[in-house]
Chain A
Amino acid sequence: MNSSEMISASFTLVLPEVFLSVGAMALLMLGVFRGDRATRLVSWLAVFLLFVAGVAVLQGPELRTLAFGGSFVVDPFGQFVKILMLIGVALCLIMSMNFIREEKFERFEFPVLIVLASLGMSMMISANDLISLYMGVELQSLSLYVLAAFNRDSLRSSEAGMKYFVLGALSSGLLLYGCSLIYGFTGTTNFDVLRETLIPGGLSIGLIFGLVFLLAGLAFKVSAVPFHMWTPDVYEGAPTPITALFSAAPKIAAMALLVRVLIWPFTDVALSAVPEWRQIIVALAMLSMVLGAFAAIGQSNIKRLMAYSSIGHMGFVLLGLAAGTQEGVRGVLVYLTIYLVMTVGVFACILSMRRREGMVEDIEELAGLSRNHPLMAFALMVLMFSLAGIPPLAGFFAKFYVLVAAVHEGLYTLAIVGVLASVVSAYYYLRIVKIMYFDEPAEPFLSPIGGEIRLILGASSLFLLFYVVFAFPLLGVTDLVARSLF
């Protein structure tokens, strides 16, 4: 096979990404020629595009296959996470349509940038090389910087974009520095080659340094403490659907990337020795869980609260990763799935907090929701209970799997900290329930809520409520998927 044949074979493997990139450019053209009036059309076409990409992902090879000389990998793990990510992006896109119209920044670049961001995430998920890792991260981040600042007439939105951009640049710097150290000490950027060269000898100190910097850059993307500082400010400032997107899709993609980077080249599965990176991940997980639990208590803005909530949840996901076993990765996948559903559901609720004078974001505005909008209140209650991890809701099982995985690896302290953090965090989730059900009603929100948001809210709370039904198929799939990394 000569090189051009190889390249065309590679292109068939990256079909989802090709669809996304070519589609994004086509939508851009459509938008340029039709103007901002076409935004709604472009949005729906973008959703369709994401759907097509999803189908293409599912059509991919069942076994681990490399493309472009090993810099791009297609495997069940990547496929599963890509599907999750595409669902998350699509749902956020759907939820954003009415929002951007009402907030008067309905511009066709919005869906196009979201598609490009999802392309970046897809590249991150499939990255099998430090360069493609960096490319994916940058493509994703750059799109998100712009999206965060998209409502350029709003000071908070611009500030959010600015902060995200500057700190993101710093994290990229750290990431690149780590990459260069790794390259310098091994002479390769390819994960497969790294795996072969590293595993027999263990990691040298220089390599560990590289790994630290690399992890710092990735930890920024999953907003693990202490690389989380941007999260609350950006979540609060960014347009709400974008906040929803932030807390769902990029977290999933970055976490998948983190898992792949740490498990594939840097874990000696055969020797079952404690990997060198575990200390870092344990520290990140602990700090994230604790800070996510404590800092959220003092928040009055629900988007900020969700920022800390997502920090805490990422801590739990890292807890699964810290185990570093197949069981741990399975826990991570289940957690990400359930986390996606919960996050999207909560943001569907937040997007329904609409008054005549505009969107409101204060937690106090939910007062007495049970009387004004009983169904919405019930759905939000289910979501909060699930986020708090109360059985038999899905959130409980999510935490359960990662905790079990951690305990099996002897990470008792971490598991105990996790449980305690979960207890503390239950306080603020339940506080929202208390406000909804027991406080004097505030002014009701504008109704009717958009049909698509209602659908998302209902579906997500039903999933969480009846998770037990989905538990076994999900466990089976994630088990298979996790196996592909080992």
Chain B
Amino acid sequence: MRELNRREFLVGMTGTGLAVVLAACAPTQQPVQPAQPAGGLAQEQVIRIPLTEPPTLDPGLATDTVSLDVIVQLFEGLVGFDDAGNVFGIHAEKWDISSDGITYTFYLRPGIKWSNGRPITAQDYEWAWKRNIDPKTASDYATTLFPIKNAQAIHEGKADPQTLGVRARDDRTLEVTLEAPAAYFLRLASTWTMFPLPREAIERYGDKWTEAGNIITNGPFKMVSWRHQQEIVLERNEDYWGKKPTLQRVIYRIFPEGAEEQVLAAYENDEIDVARGIPPAQVDRVLNDPKLKNQIKIFDQSGTMFIAVNNRRPHLKDPRVRKALGMTLERQVLIDRVLKVVAKPAYSLQPPGIMGRNPDIWPKEDVEAARRLMADAGYPNGQGFPEITFTYNTSATWKALGEYLQQRWQQTLGIKVKLQEMEWRVFLQWRRTPEASQTYDVYRGGWLSDYEDPNNWYNVLWDSAEDPGMFNLGWKNPEYDRIVRQARAELDQQKRAQLYAQAEKILAEEYPAIPVYHYGARHLVKPWVKNWTISRILGFAPLRDVQILAR
């Protein structure tokens, strides 16, 4: 659901999804550091980071990596998750879950404050959630709140926002009532859509409450200035309740969208300390540059790039055909030589870290077996198989992918492929038109976790009730639907894992879409920046633990 306004996403990670703040709040994983220059910390703890203009800094409205990059420094919420999937409290000191899984009670810790000095209360949470679910707020991520009682009805305009199942029992106790048990509710509670909001600023300044001078925040950093299209400056929040950042100042320099070459030039000229993504034309030079190649850091992202298949088309209805298409791809070659992206070959549609995932049971790369499957399906050597169309949004990467598929499927299976390119917004609209859903064959798909829970994959993407908004594209399996709907509510983790393992098995057999690769990110980081890391979800960079070493 996020928009693709960061170039690295255009290049390699074009995918989507809501996402969660997990890593923002998690104790930072220590990436391996190259040999340090002079030891010790620098006097000036300032980092300079490239960014594009954030569409919003309102946590209730944010949907994209750029906005979240800044938001997670300024705001935080009830709970967070570490990389291993363990939950920990942030504003919530502790919480209770009723035995039926319906009622969650959060107890806020004392001494947490807004940047204007006012204590953060349970009422701030209640007000924020009711505001975000109100259709008038038009929050794209309001769906995050849907498990809460009445949320969906309110969002559809059928109920009053005041009837939302959330209530501040007192200043420090927040009681949440769900519509039905949702095993992933704490995951959702860690996302920015559920952060508390400063009511006084929003009521006073309206849409302009996020401007410097108006904004009231609660995170490890505070905003100093926001000069649009130019720079955003943050400073350490000395009143922060938890472990304070080492950084004194953060300077986000704002580049125009797509200005990857300029970011690299600025990085090489020491104007900024990191560069996120390497422009495709520069990859070979950077990888062979004796200095730059040692400054590369690779990160995994929770997401999968796949080829969406229209399961309604007569010739694509047969799982044998879909498998054959997937089994002929040489993913490593595609990643390294054709697309030149940072990624790992994907066999399962689910990325690592998602419960139930089991790539071993999925079809492997095997051209001979693929040919046999096509013959079994009645298309020996592609005879009688109609020409299919691969549709993608304008981008050099997807064009290269299209050309690869065209050549590969013709060569191995005798299938002719036509390419169709569309501008981004046209592509988005086209995908949802009824005419398109009847006539297209395959298109470029992808998904990035909104939160690292199987619900965000098995249920949101492949449950037939999600058609046609998501990627199942006419694929229906009643058994599958039953299993994943049961699993989403299952509170017993072991049982839940079993259910999702069954769902994975059905997906591996039915192959509703063709997994291609799991996204990764490649950053350039100056040797004096310590602890630079990014969230596996949406790839934003939490800065609390970042330090600047003496040069």
Chains A and B form a bound pair:
no
Give residues in B with beta carbon < 8 Å to A.
none
Give residues in A with beta carbon < 8 Å to B.
none
